[in-house]
Amino acid sequence: MSDIGNSNRITREYIDSLRIETRYMDSTTPTLRYTLYGETFASPIMTAALSHLDHFMFSGAADALAIGARDANAVLWYGMADDGEIERLASTGARMIEIIKPYADRDIIYRKLEHASSLGLLAVGIDIDHPFGEDGGPDIVDGTEMTALRTSELAEICKASRLPVIVKGVLSRRDAERSLAAGAMGLVLSHHNNRIEYAIPPMAILPEIAAMAGGTPLFVDCEIRTGMDAFKALALGASGVCIGRPLMTAIKQDREHGVRDYLVRANAELGKAMAFTGCTDLSRMDPTVIHRI
């Protein structure tokens, strides 16, 4: 089957079409230190919100992701999981953001918000791009029905949460505006691994959303693989980026140190790109160094 409309392919081609200009004069060795919701990390490169790693890979794969993030001093994002798994990952010491699905039974959302707060997680996220299945009807995930959130419901969730609420799956100015109006304290620009074909690449819509987000943290995932990819997103207005599938490969290749080593290498690549473009720290990222061919 042709993959002409595959959003992952389209996104990868877009990222690869972005070129950088160099700026050496008056530059210095950059610092990658990154502060998010009052806590400081080695860099803005984080794990993506992977789910069910122990089921799809092997027992202990989720722990390997968490420990690798902890050892790299990176934010750990994690997706759909039962309470026990979330507790286990949080117990590793990794600073964690849990992503919650848009359950039709909204009580599940509130219960998970309270559970995340009791664990002292860094933040929580609401996965707005998972309400519909392949036929446009309600999505069923692990036997549980999902339903699209209304803006008023998101506002109630943000008000009820004791942790910052991040909206994941934003890919339009419309959803960004409604999420921010509801009280979201962060947005993840993502098409959720080709959830819909022909989706606009997150980096393509990023500058427009950054211009109206008022400094709210913006995160980008989908096809972020390297520190150079991260640099492009950060230069265009992202606050942080999330790496997913490459870390799954890293776990398979080296269960003990694969994630840590991959993130450390990506940080070095980001540092190189910043040094070569005069971006001495994350507050001095400049979109004018990026050109699309």
User: Is 208 among the domain residues?
Assistant: yes
Q: What is the chain's pLDDT, residue by residue, as a tens digit (293 residues)?
A: 468 999 999 999 999 999 999 999 999 999 999 999 999 999 999 999 999 999 889 999 999 999 999 999 999 999 999 999 999 999 999 999 999 999 999 999 999 999 999 999 999 999 999 999 999 999 999 899 999 999 999 999 999 999 999 999 999 999 999 999 999 999 999 999 999 999 999 999 999 999 999 999 999 999 999 999 999 999 999 999 999 999 999 999 999 999 999 999 999 999 999 999 999 999 999 999 999 99
pTM equals: 0.96
The range of the structural domain enclosing residue 253 comes to 7-19+40-278
User: Is 57 among the domain residues?
Assistant: yes
Side chain identity at residue 71, one-letter code: D
User: Is 284 among the domain residues?
Assistant: no
Active site residue: 52, 55, 130, 192, which one?
Answer: 192
Q: Catalytic site residue 192?
A: yes
Distance CA 60, CA 53 (A): 8
Distance CA 39, CA 158 (A): 20
Residue 76's domain is classified under what CATH number? 3.20.20.70
For the chain, how many structural domains are there in total?
1
Task: Return all residues near 283 (Cβ < 8 A) that are at least 6 apart.
Answer: none
